[in-house]
Amino acid sequence: MKKRVLLIVCDGLGDRPVRKLEGRTPLQAATKENLDWFATQGACGLLDLISPGVCPGSDTAHLALFGYDPSQIYTGRGPFEAAGVGMEVRRGDVALRCNFATVDEERRVLDRRAGRIREGTRELAESIDGMEIDGVVTHFKEGTEHRGVLLLRGEGLDPRITDGDSHEIGGPVLEVKPLVPQAEKTAHVVNEFMSRATEALSDHPVNLTRKGQGLEPANFILPRGAGKFPSIPLVREKWGLRFAAIAGVALIRGICRSVGMEVLDVKGATGGLDTDIEAKIEAAMRALEEYHVVVVNIKAPDVAAHDRKPGLKTEVVERIDRSLGMLREGIQEDWIVAVTADHSTPCDTGDHSADPVPLLVFGDGVRRDDVVTFDEISVAVGGLGRLRGVDLMPLLIDLANRSEKFGA
């Protein structure tokens, strides 16, 4: 029987022993009968998203989970962020992540996030969209809150430039510089864009209103993370299957869209702590009727961990677990279900780490092992052993009886 694959990525789920949790990880501390049930019925293991000891970004990790080797194709986050905010990204385009920021008259950075501006960024973005500099067309689109994306389209672009964002407060805005001679033009275009943008933004009605309200004006664009969209086959060419994705975060939505997945909109799926996990799982179960592979990203554990809140992360795990009760009840015999993470985010550091993430694979035909608890330590002795991120998708597609033989 040919089967379908549901891959649930609990963002930043992996952790280290936390003192506040008496040396347990949030997964160990959580009550999670459904995750444990799936682990008991299935096979478990550890996953190094890139390779052991290499600390993954969310973007490189998701590319690996979809079967692309990031070390072969990754140049920078910009293009994926651009796709995430709904821009059309073409091969050869260079894109940069940006912040709306506040600078003083000497272009010293007063606030890297323009007072975490939420309202009016669409109008601001429109006012600086569609310039032409040195024959390069520049597009700008707002993201969530203070975020935006600058996309460059034209001949001879090269993403090997320095960031304009020093990540420091009080210092001057940085001039973007080429890291290689081939990137001189690109650096010039970005610097010119920054100058023209600050002129257009300074007297923009949105900023005049903000000043009147005592809020920081969004009068500067800080770009960083330039990247070129890689030449990779789309998932339907690579795997010969229809993929759908459910995710709230712009970056993940962008990556999914850029590799050719259908990104489904789910009401209440925000990419934050307030996200409706049940709605996501429900939508994924429905999507399995139409798609061969459905990927769900649940960002909430990562948010709690970045805030260094192990108690909150434990609660998030328990919320995910409750939502999986619905999946457990509605499970179909032609579904292969995998639950894992894109990286660890230890609550003690509040940032990504290279610690491998737990993995469970459930479904008809899976070699059930002795693991009965889904956490970072218990799964280490599971039947799947220690795998690499790029190997998971082929493994799941094979369990779905849809792999192609290598050889005869």
Name the site residues for a second copy (rule: CB under 8 A).
16-17, 23, 25, 46, 50-61, 70, 74, 77, 97, 225, 251, 346, 348-349, 351-355, 365-370, 376-377, 380-388, 391-399, 401, 403-408
Tell me how far, at minimum, the Cβ of 165 lies from a second copy, in Å: 13
Nearest Cα to 7, choosing from 268, 278, 273, 292? 292
Q: Closer to a second copy at the Cβ: 48 or 216?
A: 48
Nearest Cα to 8, choosing from 203, 299, 206, 236? 299
Identify whether the C-beta of residue 241 lies closer than 8 Å to the C-beta of residue 402.
Answer: yes
- What end-to-end distance do the CA atoms of the chain give, in Å? 21
Tell me how far, at minimum, the Cβ of 381 lies from a second copy, in Å: 5
Sign of CA dihedral 93, 94, 95, 100: negative
Q: Closer to a second copy at the Cβ: 138 or 353?
A: 353
Tell me how far, at minimum, the Cβ of 348 lies from a second copy, in Å: 6
Tell me how far, at minimum, the Cβ of 368 lies from a second copy, in Å: 6
Q: Closer to a second copy at the Cβ: 217 or 356?
A: 356
User: CA separation (Å) from 151 to 67, 77, 80, 83, 256?
Assistant: 26, 12, 11, 10, 18
φ, ψ for residue 59, nearest 5 deg: -75, -50
Residues in the chain: 408
Tell me how far, at minimum, the Cβ of 311 lies from a second copy, in Å: 18
Q: Closer to a second copy at the Cβ: 180 or 408?
A: 408
Interstrand relation of 357-362 and 335-340 (parallel, antiparallel or unpaired)? antiparallel
d(CA 329, CA 317) in angstroms, rounded, equals: 19
Q: Closer to a second copy at the Cβ: 296 or 392?
A: 392
The radius of gyration computed from the CA coordinates of the chain, to the nearest angstrom, equals 22
Tell me how far, at minimum, the Cβ of 109 lies from a second copy, in Å: 20
Tell me how far, at minimum, the Cβ of 217 lies from a second copy, in Å: 27
Q: Closer to a second copy at the Cβ: 216 or 302?
A: 302
φ, ψ for residue 215, nearest 5 deg: -95, 155
d(CA 258, CA 7) in angstroms, rounded, equals: 18
Q: Closer to a second copy at the Cβ: 47 or 298?
A: 47
- Between vectors from CA 288 to CA 282 and to CA 291, what angle results, nearest 5°? 135
